Structure formats: structure tokens, C-alpha cells
Structure 1
């Protein structure tokens, strides 16, 4: 770890250095979205670009790392939202619908799931980033997946299926875009049967 620069106050270790870089990236995203440069981050930190490159190979990697770190809060909110839904099909329907609805409100979730420079889908819907995030969503469902007859391999396939659906709605939300009950009714009719018949056609309040 470099001991000079850092606006006169060097981090104690690499962990703190990474956290400072992520904090600078968050500030840059709040200012101008995901279109920051490594030079901009280095300037904000008072270090050289080479110092930032020691921890992140490029701006895309830094953007992804920042988005992943920040989406933990979304996962907690999603878990609370879905806490009363134990039926697998209903949980999947509401999880997809709620995620799509939050995309416009959560800049970090949008960066992770929207096609573009650092979107989780820019490297493919089956990228490690997208699949890991999707598995994190399922693990926060109040669903007993074993009792539902869905093991680890099945969960991985379900994650891929959900991400492909989210991707399709992100790329083309429809004309007019489906929202609210209309979106949930559509997902209940065409997605829920792949998991099992839901106990109700619409989302939990």
C-alpha cells in the first residue's frame, strides 16, 4: 500500500484504502451517475491513478464493486417486503415486480441491472455478478425451497430464469409499460406456472 498521497492522511491498510476508493466512487455516482473516470477518483482521493488501479483494474470493475456493495440495502428492503410470502410462485412474482419498480429509484440497483457500461447484463445475463446478485435475492425470500422441492441446482436455474425476465422488461418494458397489478397479473399468468401455482393472483400488500 502506498504511504504518500491520500490528501495527507494515508489509510491504515488495504481494507481502508478500498473503502475510501468505494466512498469516492459513490460520491462520483451521486454527482454524475456511472460515467466517472479513474482519473477523477484519483483526484478526489489525492492519489495517482496507478494507486487506484492497484485495487481496481478499471472503472467498470470499480463501478460494479460500488453497485454490489450498495445493493445490500435493497436486498434488506426486499426481504422485509416479502417477509409474509411463503409460496414460492408468489414470492418470485413479487420479487421480480418489486425489483423492476425499484430500478428507477435506486441508482445502484439500476447500475447493476440496466444494460450499459457496468450493468450486470453487459457481460451477459449469466455473468457471475448477475447470478450472485440473483441468488442473494432468493436467499432472502421467506420460502422453504427444500420443502418446495427446489434444490441448489434448481435455485441456480430459477435465478437465471428470473434474471432473464428482468432483463427483458428492462430492455423493452412494453407499450404501454406494465406496472402495478397489471405487471403482477402478467407474471402470475406466465411466470408463476413454471414454479408452481400461486396461492393468489396478485402481490402481497
Structure 2
């Protein structure tokens, strides 16, 4: 009797399963098609991004290896194009090459390139802060006080690993303007940062002892 009951229960269960698949055939088929489409789209997108990265890499390498005084304009145009392709690796590298080789001398245009990278490129937070610091460094000699402070605000108002470097740049800026009290305040801030670069803390202390001890 128990064996017959078990057989009946098994048959009933199998019938329910069969009926479920029959009754929901279209739904299940649609679900499978959607899953396949998602997987296909994902892998196609990954392949596209990989090919795009390779294309950008080739463009950068070609531009810098073929660079000479005779083709500065061609190199500049190619690298500016790369900056606006918003690649996390090659957009910053392109800008640095432009600056190092003076392919663009206008500060306004260089700052536009900096701003595009800072605002439009998907970057690790500290990489972005490094680029902000480099922008401030580039502008330090010609900036007004409020301009320099505004550029560096995302770093100085955070716990960034670049905070000490930013404060040191500001302190040196004020010292160069003979605003010693302001300079002293920023050097003192460096010393109070727990995770500050030890070399910078030592240099800040030297500055305070040697030049700002009055």
C-alpha cells in the first residue's frame, strides 16, 4: 500500500511539473531569451571596451613615438583628441605630454583640458585628487590667492593622501608673496596631519624653524 501511494505521489508530482512547463512555456522561453540577450550584450560590450582601449592606446603610442619638432601640431591635435575621449589612463597621460613638451602654451586651453579630465573622466578618487593637485601646481605662479585655494579645495577639505602636498603648495605660495603669517598657518596644518608624508612634515618644520620663527 505504501509503495502504491509513493508511486501515485511521484506520478502526481511529475504531472504537476509537466503541466507547469506546458502552461508556462512562453514565459519560460521569453525568460531564457532575455538571459541569453543579457549575456550576449555584456560580453559584446566588454569586447567593445577592450577594442576601444586598444585603439586609444595605439593612438597615444603613435602620437608620442612619432613626435618631433616638425610635426608638433599633428601631435598636439591627436593628444587633445585623446583627452576628450575621456579614458582614465590615456587622457591624463596625453595632457601631461602636452604640458611637458609645451605643445599648448595658453593656460586657458590647458585648464580646459584639466577640467575635462577632472569632471568627465571616471577616475579613482585619489587619482582625481592628484590631477587637481597638478592643475594647481601648473597654475600656482600666475594664480590669485582665491583661485589657487578654490582649485585645491576638494583636497584641502578632505582627508586625501594629497592634502599635505596641497597645503605645502599653498604655504609656499604665500611665502613667495611675503605673506608669512598665512604661510606659517599652512605649514602648521601639515605638521598636524597624522598620515602626512614624513618628508613634507620635516620640510614644513624646517621652514617654520628657519624662516618663520618670529
Does the alignment reach a TM-score above 0.5?
no
Structure of greater Rg: 2
Give me the TM-score of the superposition, normalised by structure 2: 0.28
Give me the TM-score of the superposition, normalised by structure 1: 0.28
The structure with the greater share of residues assigned to helix is: 2
Q: Which structure is higher in RCO with an 8 Å CA cutoff and minimum separation 6?
A: 1
